[in-house]
Amino acid sequence: MSGDDELMEVPVQAITLVEKGAPKYMILCDMPCKIIETRLKKKATNKGNDRVEVKGLHLWTGKKYEDTIVGTVSIQVPKWSTNEYTLLDVDASDGAVSLMDPAGGTKEDVTLVKDGKEWDPVSKDVIERFEAGEALIVTVFSCMGKEVVMQVRAEA
């Protein structure tokens, strides 16, 4: 089993993307994407198979991807998780963050995200609020071996 196999769930049929409880993430155009829109096309294929139009945003860059997939085709759904950590420190020069989990362990391998040369909105918010002296809780999104701070809130 390769490392990529460990990061993927069992493939699902594309038609499940339009059903209730559909996956939120998928490999779209060979890119890991968050699904933002799905719809069943009105006209089926010549063989009568349903077609699904899918639009998604790349998980790390935000670039938009679109595709039309035959409903019976298997798609890959990446494994993902979110965890909350207490923010201990931020290095605004390179985006390195120091985090503490609820059990008191530290995590040093997460960085903030840049959109080109600028920090993305969440990263900018983390830096500004940390520098203002706020105690913060961050939500870290993990997918395909990469972890990104995706949300920040004040510690209660």
Contact predicate 56/68, CB 8 Å: no
List the domain boundaries for the chain: 3-75, 81-154
Characterise 134 by phi-psi region: left (phi > 0), alpha (psi -120 to 50), beta (else): beta
pLDDT in tens, 26-79: 999 888 899 999 999 877 667 778 899 999 998 877 789 999 999 889 998 888
Write the CB contacts of 53 (distance below 8 Å, at least 6 apart in sequence). Answer: 37, 38, 39, 40, 41, 66, 67, 68
pTM of the model: 0.76
Residue at token pair 């997939």: 69
The domain defined by 3-75 folds into SH3 type barrels. (2.30.30)
The domain defined by 81-154 folds into OB fold (Dihydrolipoamide Acetyltransferase, E2P) (2.40.50)
CA dist., res. 92 & res. 112, Å (int): 9
